[in-house]
Every structure is written in structure tokens, then in C-alpha cells.
């Protein structure tokens, strides 16, 4: 059964109760005045004459009814509950750690040229991405910089899933020669050399190793098994095992502090969420008031708070039709499912590199071996819960040729303004993406699994406009707080330059 893997993967869906939809076949009345007067409609809502005719029945009275099956599917997509705490990261959910992580995220000293921070590529002004087809910093990469909105929701990180926790992810760009180009020893030396940062770090993480003993702790060192002759690798293997362990422990803490900060990069309560809430008879307020970090023992979701049905009067009919297509003819929800509109798993669309040609990026197939040997796995020595749920995810994973060319299903929340799209920025606009799903033009057949799930949908122009209106309605509101702005003092005054 070809759909099984993606269904099994959606364990987070169990948080939601589909049975909330008591109002079976609920008929939604959207009054035209409410639509016309108050809200500017997305461009795709300004439909052509031809489209208006083809959708005349629905759009004339702006009324759409959803079947019980559709309502059940909609209930799986909203609301977005707070991400479960990552028990492999002892700082997750700790406000002091989050603030320190905020500082680290903006600190350029963790790069080899002193100019690149995480925020350089994950820019809050650009949806925590960079607007470029592929990441650029010290060098130019081959993959798109993903937006970090709602990133804590994931099980796997990177397009190829080569990290199984958010904290392990954060360690890689610092040591990646084309991203920040630094190394774990240099990172710890920066912290040790900045009195205020050191104090804040040690208060949370514990003491740094005796870095001042230059014989034991070189200025630069990191493992690089692919280049065993490199100076940084030789410096690393020249250290004692105990000292390497001590460095890895505190280096992993740097990643954990950043990951704790990233939990706050939440953007939800979109027009679609408000519409889904109205369908489910929940008050919109339960969404906007939902705490992001409830205490551990508080209920993780708000769906149980059943209030009076208030049909949304502000959700454009075009988006409603797009929603129906998303769940029906488009079969988009087969992969973009669950409250984050991603199954969190990997699929092959058969996309070649930007500019055309056969696929060259192995995707998940290439991501599994580095995960397997990573010292920072969720079930490894630096995990704070090596037996927990997250730790079990990667246990026993094996690589299959069918993984070749698979990429992580991106969340479709907040997708509107974060193009170009796909793992290498191959598509400029959402229109391009929808034309792709309509024709599958340019998709290379990779293997049987891909062909069975992915079929050209042959959308009409009107249907693509409706789907685009639906995707546009997934644009949420950022969590309030200081998260989106640089810290007041990313480089404290007493810090060495």
C-alpha cells in the first residue's frame, strides 16, 4: 500500500481529534456584503470573466458546503498546536535559554570571516529566509534556504533530513565551509573570550573546558573525515578523547540554545485557521490566545474548547474552492497534511536542478548516511533524552534506493511570500508550482512510488487561481515578542572584535 509510509509518519496528527466535526455537512453561509466591504482580496480573487462564469453557481451567492469527509480532512489541517517540547534538548521551553539563543542567532562572530550569522540567511525581513534560489554566504550552496517559521514542528531538518533534531541542525551551518565556515573550537573560544556571553552561557550550560590551555585546545579544530589531511581535522584528532568529548558537549549546548530560541518562530492563526475554526464551532479567540509555550502539564491543544458556531464571513469563496481542490482533485493533502500542512516526510517530485536537466541531488538518499554517523544524533551521547520519542525516530532507519531524489515535504503555512520555491529554488512563483502539479512537465520519473502518488492534475486556469487563493490564505500572524528583531546587543560592548 503506497500511502502507508506517509500516513505512519504523521504521528503528530494524533493530537487532533477529527471527531470535533459534529456539524456534519454543515452549510456555510458567507454573506456577500461582509466579503466585499471589509477585506482586500488577494490578486487571485480578482477573477476573470471566464472564471466567474465557470464558477458562477458558487461565487454568485458565495456559498459552499463541505461534505462530512471534507470536514474531517479540514480538521486535520488546523489549528496548529504548539510544537511538543523536544526532550533531547534540556533548554527547550526555558525562557532564559531562548533569550541567549536569540543572541547567538544574530552573532556574526561564529563565522570564519566575522560577517555571517544565522540571521544573515534566515532574515526575519524575508520570512526567515533570503529570497534567493540557493543559500549564499561565505560560498554559494546548492539548496534553497528554508523559511524558519514553525520550524520546531518538524521531525527531520534540512531538505534531505540529515539532522534529527533542531539543535543538531544548528551545529552544521557553523562548520559548513560555504555557510559560516567556522569550527567548534573557534565557536567555544569566542564564547570564552566574551565575559558577558561566557557568564550567560555557563550559567545555563555549565562550565566551558579549560580552553586557555592551548596545547590541549587548539584555536581551530573540527572533524572532517572526508579531508583527513586538512589542518582542522588533524588538530581535532590530535586532541585527547576526553577533551573532544568536553568540546562536543558544550558545542551541542550552543545548538540547543539556538534551537530553544527557534521554538518562538511561530506564525499561525491564518485566515484559513479562522475559517476552519468557524467550521468546527470554535471561537477564533481560542486561536489567538493559545499560549505558545504552555506549561508541560497543560493540554497541548485547544480543539476541545467547543464554542458556538460562527461561520466565517471573511474567507473568500475562491479560497474555499481552492481548499476543496486541495483536499479533492488536487490530492495535495496526501503529502501536505497535518496541522503544519506537511507530513514531515520525504517524497520525490522528480525535479531537476534550477535551469533544467535531470535530477542530480540525491536528497534523502544522501541525507541518511551522515545522519547515521553523526555524533549529535537524538539517540547519541549528547542527547538529553537518548531513549525518548525523538530518539527512536532515527533508530533502525535504513536507506532504500527509492529514497533517491526525495525531499522533505515543506509546510505550506506562510508560503505566499517566501519564494522562489522547491529545494533549489527551481520555481519563481506559486503559479509556477501549480502549473507544475497540473502538467508534471519536467518531472523525471524516478521510481514506482513517485509515479503512483504523483499524477498530472490537469487544473483549469480557474482552478489554479482558486488553489493560489487557498495557499495565500495560509498566511499567519507572527507570535508576539522580540523574536523577529535583532537582539539589542548581539555583540556586547566588552566583546573583542
Residues interacting with ligand HEC, by CB under 6 A? 116, 118, 120-122, 135-137, 141, 143, 145-146, 148, 151, 154, 157-160, 166, 169-170, 173-174, 179-180, 258, 330-332, 334-336, 347, 349, 351, 407, 409-410, 412, 415, 418, 421-423, 430, 433, 437, 453-454, 457, 467
The torsion angles phi and psi of 339, rounded to 5 degrees, stand at -60, -20
From the CB of 256, what's the least distance to ligand HEC, in Å? 11
Give the residue ranges of DSSP H helices in 422-487: 430-439, 448-453, 461-472
Toward ligand HEC, which CB reaches closer, 90 or 364? Answer: 364
From the CB of 12, what's the least distance to ligand HEC, in Å? 15
b/e 314-338 (16+ beta carbons within 10 angstroms → b): ebbbbbbbbbbbbbeebbbbbbbbb
**Following DSSP, what letter does each residue of 30-68 receive, concatenated?**
--HHHHHHH-PPPGGGS--HHHHHHTHHHHHHTEEE--H
In angstroms, the CA 159 to CA 355 distance is: 19
Which residues on adjacent β-strands are paired with residue 268? 477
From the CB of 282, what's the least distance to ligand HEC, in Å? 25
**Following DSSP, what letter does each residue of 83-122 receive, concatenated?**
PPP-TT-TTTT-HHHHHHHHHHHT-GGGSTTS---HHHHS
From the CB of 141, what's the least distance to ligand HEC, in Å? 5
From the CB of 136, what's the least distance to ligand HEC, in Å? 6
The answer to whether the bond into 79 is cis (omega within 30° of 0) is yes
Toward ligand HEC, which CB reaches closer, 135 or 339? Answer: 135
In angstroms, the CA 289 to CA 283 distance is: 10
Q: N- to C-terminal Cα distance for the chain?
A: 58
The upper half-sphere exposure of residue 117, i.e. CA atoms within 13 Å in the direction of its Cβ, equals 18
From the CB of 268, what's the least distance to ligand HEC, in Å? 16
Q: Are strands 267-268 and 407-408 parallel, antiparallel or unpaired?
A: unpaired
From the CB of 65, what's the least distance to ligand HEC, in Å? 22
Toward ligand HEC, which CB reaches closer, 66 or 157? Answer: 157
* Cβ-Cβ contacts under 8 Å for 161 (sequence gap 6 or more): 346, 364, 367, 368, 371, 408
Toward ligand HEC, which CB reaches closer, 102 or 282? Answer: 102
Toward ligand HEC, which CB reaches closer, 136 or 243? Answer: 136
Toward ligand HEC, which CB reaches closer, 283 or 361? Answer: 361
Toward ligand HEC, which CB reaches closer, 185 or 430? Answer: 430
Toward ligand HEC, which CB reaches closer, 251 or 275? Answer: 251
Q: Are 271 and 475 within 8 A, CB to CB?
A: yes
From the CB of 104, what's the least distance to ligand HEC, in Å? 8
From the CB of 315, what's the least distance to ligand HEC, in Å? 18
State the CB neighbour count (10 A cutoff) for residue 301.
18
Toward ligand HEC, which CB reaches closer, 161 or 218? Answer: 161
In angstroms, the CA 361 to CA 358 distance is: 9
Toward ligand HEC, which CB reaches closer, 177 or 311? Answer: 177
Which residues on adjacent β-strands are paired with residue 123? 129
Toward ligand HEC, which CB reaches closer, 126 or 234? Answer: 126
Q: CA distances (Å), 56 to each of 70, 283, 317, 361, 465, in order?
A: 22, 31, 11, 45, 15
Report the sign of the C-alpha dihedral through residues 417, 422, 427, 430, in that order.
negative
From the CB of 336, what's the least distance to ligand HEC, in Å? 5
Toward ligand HEC, which CB reaches closer, 282 or 365? Answer: 365
From the CB of 170, what's the least distance to ligand HEC, in Å? 4
**Following DSSP, what letter does each residue of 184-253 receive, concatenated?**
HHHHHHHHHT-HHHHHHHHHHH-PPP-TT-TTTS-SS----TTSTTSHHHHHHHTS-HHHHHHHHHHHHH
Toward ligand HEC, which CB reaches closer, 135 or 487? Answer: 135
From the CB of 210, what's the least distance to ligand HEC, in Å? 25
From the CB of 118, what's the least distance to ligand HEC, in Å? 3
Amino acid at each position: 500500500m503506497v500511502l502507508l509510509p506517509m500516513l505512519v509518519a504523521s504521528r503528530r496528527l494524533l493530537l487532533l481529534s477529527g471527531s470535533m466535526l459534529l456539524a456534519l455537512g454543515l452549510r456555510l453561509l458567507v454573506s456577500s456584503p461582509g466579503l466585499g466591504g471589509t477585506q482586500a482580496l488577494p490578486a487571485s480573487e480578482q477573477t476573470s470573466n471566464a472564471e466567474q462564469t465557470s464558477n458562477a453557481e458558487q461565487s454568485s451567492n458565495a456559498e459552499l458546503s463541505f461534505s462530512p469527509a471534507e470536514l474531517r480532512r479540514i480538521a486535520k489541517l488546523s489549528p496548529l498546536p504548539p510544537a511538543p517540547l523536544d526532550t533531547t534538548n534540556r533548554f527547550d521551553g526555558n525562557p532564559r535559554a531562548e533569550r541567549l539563543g536569540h543572541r547567538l542567532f544574530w552573532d556574526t562572530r561564529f563565522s570564519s570571516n566575522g560577517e555571517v550569522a544565522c540571521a544573515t540567511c534566515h532574515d526575519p525581513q524575508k520570512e526567515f529566509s533570503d529570497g534567493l534560489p540557493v543559500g549564499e554566504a561565505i560560498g554559494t550552496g546548492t539548496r534553497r534556504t528554508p523559511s524558519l517559521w514553525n520550524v520546531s514542528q518538524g521531525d527531520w531538518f534540512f531538505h534531505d533530513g540529515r539532522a534529527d533534531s533542531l539543535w543538531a541542525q544548528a551545529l552544521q551551518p557553523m562548520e559548513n565551509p560555504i555557510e559560516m565556515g567556522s569550527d567548534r573550537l573557534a565557536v567555544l573560544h569566542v564564547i570564552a573570550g566574551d565575559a558577558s556571553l561566557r557568564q550567560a552561557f555557563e550559567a545555563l550550560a555549565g562550565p566551558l573546558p579549560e580552553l586557555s590551555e592551548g596545547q590541549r585546545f587548539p584555536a581551530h579544530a573540527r572533524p572532517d573525515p572526508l579531508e583527513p589531511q586538512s589542518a582542522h581535522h588533524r588538530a581535532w584528532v590530535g586532541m585527547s578523547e576526553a577533551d573532544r568529548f568536553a568540546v562536543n558537549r558544550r558545542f551541542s549546548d550552543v545548538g540547543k540554545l539556538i534551537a530553544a530560541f527557534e521554538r518562538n518562530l511561530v506564525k499561525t492563526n491564518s485566515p484559513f485557521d479562522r475559517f476552519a475554526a468557524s467550521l468546527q464551532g470554535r471561537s477564533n479567540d481560542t486561536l489567538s490566545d493559545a499560549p505558545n509555550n504552555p506549561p508541560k502539564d497543560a493540554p497541548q491543544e485547544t480543539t476541545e474548547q467547543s464554542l458556538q458556531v460562527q461561520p466565517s464571513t471573511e474567507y473568500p469563496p475562491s479560497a474555499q474552492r481552492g481548499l476543496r481542490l486541495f483536499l479533492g482533485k488536487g490530492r495535495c493533502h496526501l503529502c501536505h497534511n497535518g496541522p503544519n500542512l506537511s507530513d514531515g516526510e520525504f517524497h520525490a517530485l522528480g525535479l531537476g536542478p534550477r535551469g533544467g536537466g535531470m535530477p542530480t541531488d540525491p536528497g534523502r538518499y544522501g541525507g541518511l548516511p551522515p545522519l547515521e554517523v553523526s555524533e549529535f544524533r537524538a539517540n547519541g551521547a549528547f542527547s538529553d533524552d537518548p531513549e525518548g520519542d525523538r530518539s527512536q525516530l532515527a533508530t533502525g532507519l535504513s536507506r532504500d534506493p527509492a529514497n533517491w531524489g526525495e525531499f522533505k515535504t515543506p509546510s505550506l503555512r506562510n508560503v505566499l511570500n517566501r519564494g522562489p520555491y522547491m529545494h533549489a529554488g527551481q520555481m519563481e512563483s506559486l503559479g509556477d508550482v501549480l502549473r507544475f502539479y497540473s502538467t508534471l512537465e519536467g518531472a523525471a520519473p524516478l521510481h514506482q512510488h513517485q509515479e503512483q502518488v504523483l499524477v498530472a492534475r490537469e487544473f483549469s486556469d480557474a482552478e489554479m487561481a482558486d488553489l493560489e487563493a487557498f495557499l495565500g490564505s495560509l498566511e499567519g500572524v507572527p507570535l508576539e515578542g522580540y523574536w523577529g528583531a535583532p537582539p539589542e546587543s548581539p555583540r556586547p560592548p566588552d566583546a573583542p572584535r
